[in-house]
Amino acid sequence: MDVWRRNHITDLPGPGPALLYAHGFGCHQDMWADITPAWRGQHRQVLFDYVGSGRSDPAAFSAHRYRHLQGYAQDLLEVCEATGLTRDVVVVAHSVSCSIAMLAAIERPQWFRHLILVGPNPCFVNDPPYSGGFERSDLVELLELMEHNYMGWADVLAPAVAAGHEPVRRTLRESFCSTDPVMAKTFAEATFFSDNRADVPKVPTPCLILQHARDALAPVSVGEYLHAHLPQSRLQVLDVAGHCAHMSHPHLVIEAMRDVLST
């Protein structure tokens, strides 16, 4: 298995501790384009696409493997192994990749130095008193829309994620629409219907939680929940609307990363 080709790995050289970037649902590695220039020549930076996303090899897709987030965590671990990132790795993860990175850290704790979690949410479904952001019926409707009107689904989700930031909305819509519908639906089901709250206390790696102040997909209460249940964590609420600070306000994410990398 050629993991480099399967996950379309990009390896940017640098002397410092390695940064591994993990994109969210419906996205791809290019979403980090405003973050990586800040670290060129300072840190090795590795980017990849999950199977079914971006420029990954579609022939490697397996509905059985990728219907659970553990399948995507295996992608992340196999990328680490293929690139030799098995020590002192700092993972910068967005949205569902935050849960994926936590699963990977539980499985291989010795590989990871820190997790930087941008807009994490271990359970998108409301389960009172826990508020995940969505009623299950709303997510079922969204998945049905994906199946019957793929472009319509992108027009619904992209504005919610971008929260008024027009360049981000356009980028997300283009990314959503360019993803194979079957593979996207599989990832969507794994993303929105997984409940990883029981895994959170098992994460042995220090975590920085970067929560958006106004985020329909991950309320601030989710960040507070994670901070309360992760064994080692720091919570920072960014004054940002939407779910993609690394795209809409990259300077804030870079500044937060600098705090982690300087320690």
- The 10s digit of each residue's pLDDT in 139-153 is 998 888 888 777 777
The domain spans of the chain are: 3-261
With a CB cutoff of 8 Å and minimum separation 6, the contacts of 108 are 77, 80, 86
pLDDT at 233: 98
Residue 4, exposed/middle/buried by CB under 10 A (0-12, 13-18, 19+)?
A: middle
Name the strand (E) or helix (H) holding 211. Answer: strand 207-214
pLDDT at 162: 82
Question: What class has domain 3-261?
Answer: alpha beta
pLDDT at 117: 98
Measured CA to CA, the distance from residue 152 to residue 27 in angstroms comes to 17
What pairs with residue 195 in β-bridges? 123
State the alpha helices, DSSP H only, in 84-180. Answer: 96-107, 136-148, 150-162, 166-178
pLDDT at 179: 82
Asked whether the beta carbons of 237 and 220 are under 8 A apart, the reply is yes
pLDDT at 218: 95
Q: What is the mean pLDDT of each run of 10 residues along the chain (263 residues)?
A: 94 93 95 97 96 95 96 98 96 98 98 98 96 92 82 81 86 83 91 97 98 95 98 97 96 96 86
Instruction: Name which of 132, 162, 126 is nearest 26 in CA terms.
Output: 162
pLDDT at 177: 76
**245 Cα distance to chain centroid:** 12
* Dihedral-angle region of residue 21 (phi above 0 means left; psi in -120 to 50 means alpha; beta otherwise): beta
Instruction: Name which of 162, 197, 164, 190 is nearest 176 in CA terms.
Output: 162
Name the strand (E) or helix (H) holding 250. Answer: helix 250-261
Residue 253 has a CB neighbour count (10 Å cut-off) of 25
pLDDT at 142: 85
pLDDT at 153: 76
CA atoms within 13 A on the CB side of 80: 27
pLDDT at 225: 98
Instruction: Name which of 223, 119, 164 is nearest 172 in CA terms.
Output: 164
| Cut 0.85: pTM above it | yes
pLDDT at 168: 87
Measured CA to CA, the distance from residue 171 to residue 130 in angstroms comes to 31
pLDDT at 68: 96
Residues marked active site are found at 95, 215, 243
